[in-house]
Structure 1
Amino acid sequence: MNVLKKLFLIVPYLLFFSLSHGSYHTITIHANDSTLLVTGKVVDSITNQPIHLAAIYLWEHQTDNAPLKTAMTNKTGDYQLAYNRTPFYLKISYMGFQPQTKRIETMNGSNIDIGTIKLLKIDNKLEEVTVSSKRPTLELITGGYKFNADNNVIGNSTNMAELLKQVPGLTVNELEGKLQLLGKGAAVLINGRKVNMGGQDLLNYLKSLPSNDVLSINVLTSPGAAYDSSGDGGILDIRLKKNTNLGFFGSASASVSTLWGTDESLNLNLKKNKFEISLGYNFSYSENQHKRNDLIKNYYLPDSSFLYKQEQVSHRSQRTHSIKTNTLYHVDSTSTLSLNYWYAYFYGKFPNERDAAIYNRKDEFQRRIEQRDLIFLDNNFHIVDLIYDKNFEKKNKLSIGLNYSKYSNENNTSFWRKAYNFSGIGINSSENNSRNFITTRPYEIWTFNADYKNSIGKDIDLKFGAKYNRANTKSFFKNLATNENIVSGEESKEDEVQYNENILAAYAALDGKYKGISFDVGLRLESFDYTLRSISMSEQIKNNYINLFPNFYIRHDFDEKKSISLSGNRRIERPGYNMLNPFVVTNNPIYFTNGNIYLKPYFANRLDLQYSHKLNDNHSILLSLYGNSSNNMFAYVSRYNQEAASPEFNYYNDYNQQQIGGYFMSQNKFGSKVNISTYLSLQRPTFKSNNAEDILLPGMLNFNGSINTFIHIFPKTTIQILGFYASKRNSFQMKYGATGYVTTGVQQKVLQDKLNISLTIEDIFNLQNAPISSLGNVIAIESINKLRSRYAKVSLSYNFGKTFSIKQAKKLEKDSRID
C-alpha cells in the first residue's frame, strides 16, 4: 500500500482538447544533428503582408491533445521553436484565416527553416465550425474509432441519448435502460471524466444534455490502463466542443417536432487574456406513446390459469433542464486551472394502462384484469470538476483532478388492479390490489485522480497515475397498500438501505514508437470494496476485491496507408446499486422483481485484430476481428421463488458467455459533393448456465449495420441520410426481434453561414415493431413493442460572436504565456 500512496500523491489525469483541422502537407528536410530550431514566416496569401501574432503549435502526433510547444509570430511574421525530436506536426492558425497543418519529417537535423507559409483569408469569422465539418464521420484512433458529430444534421438540436443512437456498434435501449457496445455494457465519459451512473439513471442524465455541445465520440473497445477498468464492452468518451478563438462567441438553437417535442439551448463563450469562460442552458420537453402486446404463460399459478393476453399503452412525457458553466484560467505558459459545473434536471410522467384476459390450460376464459399505473420520476444531477494541468519541459505532463457528483432520484409509482368476470362485473380475487411504491435515492460520489506523463527516451513515454473514488447512498423505500384487499400484516412495508463503495486504483503504461512499430502496454491495479446494510436484513453485506487489469496495443505501419494492430485487455463489470437493492416490487400480478445482495463482479477478457488501409485520399477501410469471454456473469433472469410461491425476475452470478465477431468500416468521398461512411458488425455469442435448471436461448449469428451519407447539393445546402438495421438476436433468456429505421435531414445555411435551418424526418421506413421474448422455467413472455417514433422536426441554430481586434490582441505580447 506504500507504493499506492506514493503514486496517489504524484500522478494526474490528462484532459484532452479538440484539434481544429485545416489543410495538411508533409515536408521532408535533410539535416545533421538531433537539436532542432524550427523557424519560418507567416504571411497573407493575397497581400503577402506578414501576419502578426499568428499562433504556432507543435505536436509529436497529430492526434495529441495538447501541443508540446507554442509560439507567436512577431511583427514581421517570423517565428521560431526549439525542439529535439522528429518527426512532428506544425499547425499555423490565425483568426480570419484558414489554419494549416504540416507534417515535418527530418533526418536528424538542426536549424530547420519551414519557409513562408501563406494563409488563405476567409470571410466568415466563425470559420472554425466550417473547417471542422470537413472531417470524416468515422476515424480510426488508438484502441478504437471516432464518430465525428459536429457536422451532423439529424443529430442537431436533440439530446445526447438520441445522438448516441447514430454511433456505429452502439445500442441504446430506453425501455430497458441499457447502453451496449457490440452486445456488452459500456462505460460513459464526458471530456475524459467518467459519469458515475448506470442503467436508467445514466440514460435520463444523457437525455437532459444537449447534443449541440458534442464534437465527437471516441469508441474505445480496447482502452488503455489510464482508463477505469469498468465496462465489459469498452468506453464511450464524449468530447465536447471548445472555443479556441480570442473573443466573444455564442450560439442559440430551437427545434420543434410533431411527436410532440421541443428543444431550446443557448451557449456563450468568452476568451480574453488568461480567461476562457462559457455558459450554457438547455430545455427540452417531449411526449411519446409506447404500445405493447404480451402473451404470458405462467406455469405456477395456483388457480391453474395459464395464459395472459395483455395489452399495455403508455403515454409518456418528460421535461429536462440543464445548465453548464466552465471557467479555464491560464496560470502561465505551461499550466491551466479549470472549474466546471453541470446541473441537470429530469422529470418524467409515465401513465400505463393494462388490460389482460386470462385463460386456463384448457383455453377457457377465466377473468379479465384491468390495471392502471402512474409513475413519476424526479431526478436532479450536480457535477463539479476542478482540474489542474501542467506541462513541463521534454513533454512531461501533470494533471490533477477533483470531481464531486450528487444525484437525487425519487420514484413514485401507484397502481390499482381489479378483476372482472366475463360480463364485466367486478369479482373478489386475490389479484385485486391497490398500492403506492415510493423510492428516494440520494447519493454522492467523490473522485480524486492524478496522472503523470514522462518522456524517458526518443519517441517513448512512461505514464502512471492513481485514482480514488468513494460513493455513498442512503435510500428509502415504502410499499404502501391503499385498499383493504390485503392480507393482514402486508398493508405496508418500509426499508432503508445504506450503501458505501470505495475504489482505489493505480496504473503504469509505456507507449511509443520504434522502427515502424507503435505500442502501448499497461497494467492497472484496483482495490474495490463495498458495504450494504438494510433495516429489513439481519446481516450486513461486505465485499472486498483486489484485481489486476493488463492491456496491450501493438501496431505495425507498413507505410503511410496500411497498418495492422493487435490489442488485448481485461475489464470488469461490477453490480450496480440497483442490482444489489433487495427491495421487492409487486406491481405486476404475475411475477415480482427485486435485487440480489450477494452479487459479485465478473471479468471480461478481449482480443482485437485490426487492419486499416487508406486506398487513396478519398477511400479508406478498417476491418476488425475480436473475441471475448466472461464467466460468472450476472444476468437478469426468471426463476421460481419457493418462499413467495411466485415467479421472480432477479440477477444471478451463474452465467458464462463467449463471443466472436468482427466489424467493417469504410469512409468514402466522391468528388466534393458526397461523403459516405458505412459500418457492419457480426457477432456470434454462446451462453451457458451453472444452474442446470435454467433454460437459456441458443446463441445465434446476428448483425447490425449503418450507412451515413452527406450530400452537399449546393455550397450551403447539405442532405444527410442515415440508415440503421439490427437483426434478431438472443441474450440468455431474452430474444430480441429485428429493428431498424431510415432518417433523412436537410440543412440550409444562410446569413453568411451564421443561421442553420434544418428539417428532419425520422423513420421513413419504420421497422420498430420489435418483438421481445423471455423464456424461463416458470414463465414465458412474448411481447410486441411499438414506440411511436415517426416524426418531422424543424430546427434553427444561430451562431454569433465578435473577434477581439488586433489592438486588443496586442496586449498578449506581455502575457507570460507567450514563450
Structure 2
Amino acid sequence: MNILKKIALVLPNLLFFAISHASCNTTKISLIDSTFILTGKVIDSITTDPVHLVSIYLMDHQSSSTPVKTVVTNESGDFQLTYSQRSFYLKINHLGFQPQIKRIETPSGSNIDIGTIRLHKIDNKLEEVAVSSKRPTLELITGGYRFNAENNILGNSTNIAELLKQVPGLTVDEMEGKLQLLGKGATVLINGRKVNLGGQDLLNYLKSLPSNEVLSVNVLTSPGAAYDSAGDGGVLDIRLKKNSNLGFFGSASTSVSTLWGTDQSLNLNLKKSKFEISLGYNFSYGENLHKRNDLIKNYFLPDSSYLYRQEQVSERSQRTHSMKINTLYNIDSTSTLSFNYWYASFYGKFPNERDATIYNRKDEFQRQLKQRDFMFLDNNFHIVDLIYDKDFKKKNKLSIGMNYAKYSNENNTSFWRKAYDFSNTEINSSENDSRNFIIKRPYEIWTFNTDYKTNIGRSIDLKFGVKYARANTESFFKNLTTDGNIVGGEANIEDKVQYNENILAAYSSLSGKYKHFSFDVGLRLESFDYKLRSLSTDEQIKNNYLNLFPNFNVRYDFEDLKNSITLSGNRRIERPGYNMLNPFAVTNNPIYFTNGNTQLKPYFANRLDLQYSHKWNSNHSLIFSLYGNSSKNMFTYISRYNEEVGSPEFNYYNDYNLNQIGGYVMSQNKFGSSVNVSTYLSAQRPTFRSNKTEDILLPGIVNFSGSINTFINILPKTTVQIFGFYASKRNSFQMQYGATGYITTGLQQKVLRDKLNISLTIEDIFNLQKAPISILGNVISIETVNKLKSRYAKLSFSYNFGKTFSAKQTKKLEKDSRID
C-alpha cells in the first residue's frame, strides 16, 4: 500500500509537469512558426469525374511507411489539410488506380493549391497491385528500424522463430534457448502486446505461430515510454497482417521438407461495414539431428579423473498446433471494440545419447560412461485480448485494454547412466544412476492498461497512460528414482513454489515537430514487487522497488530531405524470472549440477544511440548507427565450484558488469525493376568485469555479424530470394561461441492469376556452425563442437481466395468526426 500511495502522489505531478511544459512549448511554437493550407482535387484521368474517398497521405520522407497526416477526398474529389513544414511528400492512393507520390515545396507564409491530380486506372490483376505495394525490406522508424516480411519467400509456410533469423541484428539460438538483439536480451511483443515468456519457453511459443501472418517486425533499440521498461536489449514488436478490404478472403498453405518437416495453415477473413472476423489454424511437425562432441576437463572429481571425451546425439522432434480468433466491431465511425484469442500447443521430444570415455591425470583409460536421456516438453498457451479504442476530434485517441494469458508448461526428463570397463562390462561406480525430474510451471498473467493521446498544438502530441499487471504461478519440482521412490538424504528432492508479482506503471510522453526537428521524450514510473514462497520449507522471499525510466529521441532533417541525424537514449531494467529464483537443483549431468538463486536482484541498462541516414534517391538509402550501453550487477549464468557438495555448479549471480560499444550499417538498394538488395553489417566490443576477484572471465573481443537479403524478379511472376548470414567468434563472460554462417535460397512462382504461389527453398548451402566452444576457468573446462543438421529442401504451396463486397456509402464525409 505504501508503494501505491507513492505512485498516487508522483503520477499527478509527473503528468502535470509534462502537460505544463508541453503547453509552454506549444505557445512558443505558434508564435514563431506559421502554418499553411494545402488544397487539391482528384479526378479520373479517363472520365474526368471526381474520385471520392481517395486517401491522401502526408509524409516527411518518400520512403516513409507511417504518414504524418491522412485525409480523404469528399464527393467532389476535393481535399484540404494544414501543415507547418515547407517541404514534404504527398502519397495519393485509391483501390483500382495507380498510386502517386508528389514532392511539395511551398513558399514561406503562403497557402498552395496543387490543382487537379489525375488518377490512372490499372488492370485489376493481382500481380500489378502487389508490385505497386511492395515495401523495402528495411526501413528507418522512430527508435529503431523495421523489417518488412510481407514479400518474404523464405519466411513463408514456416514459423515466426524461423522468420526472425532474417531480422538484422537479431540472434536466434535454439540450442541455448536465447533470443538476443545486438548481444542483449529483447522483449517480444505481438501487435503491441507483450509476450510474457522468456528463454526456451518464448522460442517454443514463437515456433507454434505461423510466419505467413507476419507483416513486419519493428526493432526498437530505443523504445518510447509507452513500452514496458523490461528487456535490456530493446523491443521486438511483431506486427500481423490486417485485411483492409470489404469481403470474404482466405488463404491455405502447405509445405513439406526433407528434414523431415511439414506445415499446414488455413486463414479465413470476413469483413463487412461494421464487423470483421478472422479465423486461423496452423499445424507443424519437424525433426532434426543434433550432434555434439565435448572435451571436458574437471579437476574436482573425487577419484581424480579429469578428462572426458564425450559424444552426444539427439534426434529432436516437435509438434505444434495453434489457432486464433480475432473479431472487431465498429460501434460507430469513431470507436471500435475488438476481441482476440490465441491458443498454441507445443510438444517436443528430445532423446539424447551420451557416450563418454574417462581418463586419469596420466591419460590412462579408467572407464566408460553411457547415459540415455529422454526429455519431453508439453506446453500450452492461451492468450485473450479485449480492447476498446475511441477516436475523438482533432485525432485524440483513447485505448482501454485487458489481456489474460495462461501457460501450462511441463518438462519431464528421465535418464539412466552406467559405467563400463575397457571390455564393455558393466562395473559398480558412484556415477551409476537412474533418475526422473518432473517440472511443472502453470501460471497466469492479468494485464490492464489505459492510454490516451491528445493533440495540444499544431504539431505537438501528448500521450500518457497507466498499466497494471499481475502474475501468479505455483510451480512443482520433483527428483525421483525411476521406480518412483524419493532418494533419502538428498537435498531439494521435491518442492512446490508459489510466486506472485505485481507491476504498476504510469508514463507520459511528448512528441512533435518544429521546423526541421522532430522529437519524442518520455518518462515512465514503475513499481514492482514479488513474493516467492516454498510450500515445502515455508520459506518466503519478498522484494519491492520503485524506479523511473527516462527516454528521448530527437531527429534533425536537413533541407534536402535526403539526410537526417538522430540521437536517442533510454534506461531499461532486466528482472530475474521466477524460474531463476527457485533453488531447485538438477543433477542429470555427471560432472556438474544446475541451481537457482533466491537472492537475485534486477539490474539496469543505459543506452545511447547516434543514427545517421542518407537517401540518394528513391532506390538507394543507407542507415549508419553508433551505440554504447552499460549494465552493472547483472545476473548471468556462470560456473563456480561449490565446496559444500564438492562439485562445480551453474548458477545465476548478480556479480557481473558489462560495457559495450558498437555500430551497424544498413543499406537498401533497388536496381531497376527486378533487383532489391538489403545489407546489414554490425561490429561490437564488450568489456566484462566481475565483483568476485576469483572469477575467471574471458576477454571481450571485437565480433562481427552481417547479412544480405536479395530479391530478384527473373520473370514477371517468378522471384528468387537469397539470404546469407555470418557471425564471427565472440566471447560472453565465461562462454566462447564459434563462427556461424549459412546461405539460404528460395524460388517463388505465381500461377492461376497469382492466386497460387509455389516456392522451393534450399536451406544452408554451406554451414560453418561450430558453437558453442566454452572455457570455464580452472574449475571446469569444456570444449564443445555442436552440429545441427539444417541442410534441406522445402516445397511450399499457398493459395489465396476470396470475394470483394461492394461498399455502400452510409454517411457523408463531413459527418465523420475523425476527419479534420
- Could you say whether these structures have the same fold, taking a TM-score greater than 0.5 normalized by the shorter chain as the test? yes
Deviation at 1:394, TM superposition (A): 2.1
From the superposition, tell whether residues 296 and 484 of structure 1 become closer, same or farther in structure 2 (CA, over 3 Å): farther
1:680-699 paired onto structure 2 within 5 Å = 680-699=681-700
Structure 1: which amino acid aligns with 2:768?
Answer: L
Measure how far apart 1:2 and its partner are.
6.2
Q: Which residue pairs with 1:28 in the alignment?
A: none
Confirm whether residue 701 of structure 1 aligns to residue 715 of structure 2.
Answer: no
Corresponding position of 2:793: 792
Aligned-partner SS, 1:691? coil
Asked if structure 1 preserves the Cα contact closer than 8 Å seen for 2:310 and 2:356, the reply is yes
Taking the aligned partners of 1:261 and 1:251, their CA distance within structure 2 comes to: 21
Partner of 2:180: 180
- What amino acid does structure 1 have at the position aligned with 2:253? S
After superposing the two structures, state which structure 1 stretch, 312-321 or 748-757, moved more: 748-757
Contact residue 191 and residue 237 of structure 1 kept, 8 A: yes
* Deviation sequence 1:623-664 (CA, Å, 0-9, x none): 111111110001101111122221110000000010111001
Amino acid across the alignment from 1:699: G
Give the drift of 1:92: 4.2
Task: State the partner residue of 1:24.
Answer: none
Aligned runs of 1:207-356 on 2, under 5 Å? 207-356=207-356
Instruction: Supply the distance in 2 between the matched residues of 1:126 and 1:275 (Cα, whole angstroms).
Output: 28
Distance 1:479 1:434 in 2: 11
Q: 1:10 to 1:284 in 2, by over 3 A?
A: farther
Distance verdict in 2 for CA 1:127–1:397, change over 3 Å: farther
Decide which moves more: 776-785 or 124-133.
Answer: 124-133
Q: Give 1:144 deviation, angstroms.
A: 0.8
Question: Which residue is equivalent to 1:22?
Answer: none
Q: Secondary structure at the match of 2:663?
A: strand
User: CA 1:532/1:2 → structure 2, altered by over 3 Å: closer, same or farther?
Assistant: closer
Residue number in structure 1 paired with 2:26? none
TM-superposed CA distance for 1:331, in Å, is 1.7
Q: Which amino acid aligns with 2:756?
A: L
What's the TM-score, normalizing by structure 2? 0.92
Deviates more, 1:483-492 or 1:653-662: 483-492
Match of 2:504 in 1: 504
Closer, same or farther: CA 119–468 of 1 in aligned 2, 3 Å: farther
Q: Percent identity?
A: 72
Q: In the superposition, relative to structure 1, how do residues 299 and 512 fare at CA in structure 2: closer, same or farther (>3 Å)?
A: same
Distance 1:90 1:529 in 2: 49
SS in 1 for 2:166: coil
Partner of residue 29, structure 2: none
Alpha-carbon distance, 1:549 to partner: 0.8
Partner of 1:17: none
The alpha-carbon deviation at position 769 of structure 1 amounts to: 3.3
**Within 5 A, what are the aligned runs for 1:621-770?**
621-770=622-771
Note closer, same or farther for the CA distance 1:66–1:612 as it changes in structure 2 (3 Å cut): closer
Offset at 1:58?
5.0
Deviation by residue 1:46-94 (Cα, 9 ceiling, x = unmatched) = 444444x5343555767586886554543xx524456576677655444
Change (3 A) 1:266 1:714: same
How far did residue 576 of structure 1 move?
A: 1.4
Q: Structure 1 residues 10 and 324 mapped into 2: Cα distance closer, same or farther (>3 Å)?
A: farther
Q: CA deviation at 1:762?
A: 0.8
Is 1:809 equivalent to 2:812 in the alignment?
A: no
CA gap of 1:557–1:94, structure 2 versus 1, over 3 A, is closer
| Larger displacement relative to structure 2 (83-92 or 625-634) | 83-92
Q: State the match for 1:23 in structure 2.
A: none
CA contact (8 A) 1:313 1:352 kept: yes
Aligned residues: 793
Whether the 8 Å CA contact 1:584–1:592 is kept in 2: the answer is yes
Which range is displaced more, 457-466 or 376-385? 457-466
Distance 2:65 2:616 in 1: 24
Q: 1:217 to 1:7 in 2, by over 3 A?
A: farther
Runs (5+) with no aligned partner, structure 1: 13-31
Relative to structure 1, the CA distance from residue 587 to residue 250 in structure 2 (aligned partners, 3 Å threshold; closer, same or farther) is same
Instruction: Give the SS at the match of 2:596.
Output: coil
Equivalent residues in 2 for 1:56-205 (5 A)? Answer: 56-57=55-56, 70-71=71-72, 73-74=74-75, 78-81=77-80, 83=82, 91-100=91-100, 102=102, 106=106, 107=108, 112=113, 114-124=115-125, 129-133=130-134, 135-205=135-205
The CA deviation string for residues 709-741 of structure 1, in whole angstroms up to 9 with x for no partner, is: 111111111111111000000000000000100
How much is the aligned-residue C-alpha RMSD, in angstroms?
Answer: 2.6
Counting only pairs closer than 5 Å after superposition, residues 461-480 of structure 1 correspond to structure 2 as: 461-480=461-480
What's the CA shift for 1:286?
0.3
Counterpart of 1:163 in 2: which secondary structure?
helix
Structure 1 Cα separation of the partners of residues 568 and 124 of structure 2:
45
TM norm structure 1: 0.92
Q: Please give the per-residue CA displacement for 1:113-171, whole angstroms capped at 9, x wherever unaligned.
A: 652331432322586544332x1111111111111111111111110000000011100
- Mapped contact 1:719–1:746 kept (Cα < 8 A): yes
CA, structure 1 residues 211+686, in 2 after alignment: closer, same or farther (shift >3 Å)?
A: same
Q: How many angstroms apart in 2 are the aligned matches of 1:272 and 1:611?
A: 44
Counterpart residue number, 1:599: 600
> In the aligned structure 2, how far is the partner of 1:64 from the partner of 1:169?
21
Q: Per the alignment, in what secondary structure is the counterpart of residue 222 of structure 1?
A: coil
Moved more, 393-402 or 313-322: 393-402
* Pair 7,674 (structure 1): closer, same or farther in 2 beyond 3 Å: farther
CA contact (8 A) 1:465 1:507 kept: yes
Q: Any residues of structure 2 matched to 1:332-411 within 5 Å, and which?
A: 332-411=332-411
8 Å contact from structure 2 (residues 85, 515) kept in 1: no
How far, CA to CA, are the matches of 1:454 and 1:89 in structure 2? 24
Q: Secondary structure at 1:54's aligned position in 2?
A: coil
d(CA) in 2 for partners of 1:304, 1:2: 60
Q: How far apart are the structure 1 equivalents of 2:531 and 2:578?
A: 11
SS across alignment from 1:212? helix
Residue 589 of structure 1 corresponds to which residue in structure 2? 590
